[in-house]
Amino acid sequence: MSQRSDSVASLHPVQPPPRAATAVPLIRGGWPLIGHLPGFLKDPVSMLNRGQCEQGELLRFRIGPRNFVLFTGPEAHDFFFRAPEDQLNAKAVYQFTVPVFGRGVAYDVSPAIMAEQLEFLYPALRESAMNRFARIMFDETDRFADSLGEEGEIDLPTAMNELTVNIASRCLIGEEVREQVDSGFADAYHNLQNGINTLGFFLPRLPVAAHRSRDRARQKVAGIFSRVMAERRRAGARPDDFMQTLMDARYKDGRALSDDEITGILLTVLFAGQHTSAVLATWTGLELARESSYLALIRDEMQDVYREEGTMGLASLKRQVALEHAVRENERLHPPLIMLIRKVLKDVEYRGYTIAAGTLALVSPAVSHRLPHLFYDPDRFYPQRFAAPASEDKQHHYALIGFGGGKHRCMGKNFAIMQLKAIWSVLLDRFDFHLDTAFPAPNYGSWVTGPQEPCRLRYRRRIQASVFR
């Protein structure tokens, strides 16, 4: 080869042929046209578990023309949660929340405005506020316990939903809204909850009964909040609560929030602080009702803590490690959100596979939390797995993802865990509980996965003296 040829070759090296894109493997069992829809509607977790056993940490399934790709295991979770928004995008998926939260907030605004709105939430989660919340949680649960009498039976999902609505409305919104819980707010909020469902994920504006009820409920809640704000402005009242924080807040450009924006942010906070908490509180009660040995350990710990502390506060709740481990074990076994989803905006590659733009990428806490190489005897309720030296949740920062991860990780995680600990501290101090029926299966018909109903616990007041003074 001539010197000139060598020079040209060095300036323009031969490029290797482009590598062919490798599609993510499709799990078996799809139907023509509708894909894996029947199995997904019947039991999505069983379907995804089967697929994970077939294909490993990355698998694909179809619902109609839409492709979904599941990322399973901590390394895959890390890729999923760290991906930039221009690759894996949450806003494009969670448009079904817009009819609930409203226009101009959360997933209906630009990332910059959403970030500003999230910053408004931080005052509600500072330690001084959490101390006040702990006292409210005790007071509300104490009132609830008084209403139960000496013995009887409770519908646990209904009871936990009502109790957490009372707590969250009082902690996160304001006393005036808490006072209206029994005069229409609770029913309206329940109808809003029902508006977040599997059908609504795909067709949020479809004019079905649940969605019409959702829209009427949104108007009613907005009316309640607007009347409270108007009365505050008229009277010059400025209570120390989150509603007032938003009324006083300003965007970086100096603009005040509209009443509808305040309503939307309050609803976003309320859902974050209540909806999943009610479900997780229900699962926690069910598991503890059938685990008498671990329940005894929790009660012994309560005796030790409150012999010194006397009253419930943030410090005493932090010391209740055994109860926290039980809550975290229920997060692992019964994650309220069985899937967290992003839309793929442009082709991305992971471990030699190409995930095409337009695909919906997801992680499933319900699948990953039961991987046997991460969690010993994964189908067993065993809170001790969170204690040293096992500390199974510490082996990877994305081993446990019940509260999400990355920039969309739930800001209310600590509030939720504290709330569950407060609720069950009071109830276990007051009552013995018994589950007379078979342990309920999950209800996958709801976006937030609680137990199938009816789901009732029998209770009887304990004769032992209370640990609280």
Cβ of 143: how many Cβ atoms within 10 Å? Answer: 12
Answer yes or no: are the C-beta atoms of 262 and 243 closer than 8 Å. Answer: yes
Query: What is the predicted pLDDT for the residue at 182?
Result: 64
Query: What is the predicted pLDDT for the residue at 5?
Result: 40
Query: What is the predicted pLDDT for the residue at 84?
Result: 94
Q: What is the pLDDT of residues 113-161, one digit of tens each?
A: 988 998 888 777 788 889 999 999 999 999 999 999 999 999 999 999 9
Q: What is the dihedral of CA 451, 424, 144, 448, to 10 degrees?
A: -30
Q: What is the pLDDT of residues 339-350, one digit of tens each?
A: 999 999 999 999
Q: DSSP for 150-207, please give it.
A: SEEEEEHHHHHHHHHHHHHHHHHT-HHHHHTGGGTHHHHHHHHHHTSBHHHHH-TT--
> The tokens of 403 are what?
């509260």
Query: What's the rounded mean pLDDT across residues 44-54?
Result: 95
CA distance 301 to 321: 8
Q: What is the pLDDT of residues 231-246, one digit of tens each?
A: 999 999 998 888 998 9
pLDDT band at 20 (very low <50, low <70, confident <90, very high): low
CA distances from 277 to 39, 100, 137, 419, 425 (A): 28, 18, 13, 8, 15
Does residue 228 or residue 187 have the better pLDDT? Answer: 228
Q: What is the pTM of this model?
A: 0.90
Buried b (16+ CB within 10 A) or exposed e, 273-296: bbbbbbbbbbbbbbbbbebeebbe
Decide: helix, strand or coil at residue 69: strand
> The tokens of 72 are what?
């399973």
* Ramachandran category for residue 375: left, alpha or beta (phi over 0 → left; psi -120 to 50 → alpha): beta
Statement: residue 267 has pLDDT above 80: yes
Q: What is the pLDDT of residues 445-469, one digit of tens each?
A: 777 899 998 899 999 999 988 999 7
Query: What is the predicted pLDDT for the residue at 51?
Result: 95
Q: What is the pLDDT of residues 343-389, one digit of tens each?
A: 999 999 999 999 999 999 999 999 999 999 999 999 999 999 999 99
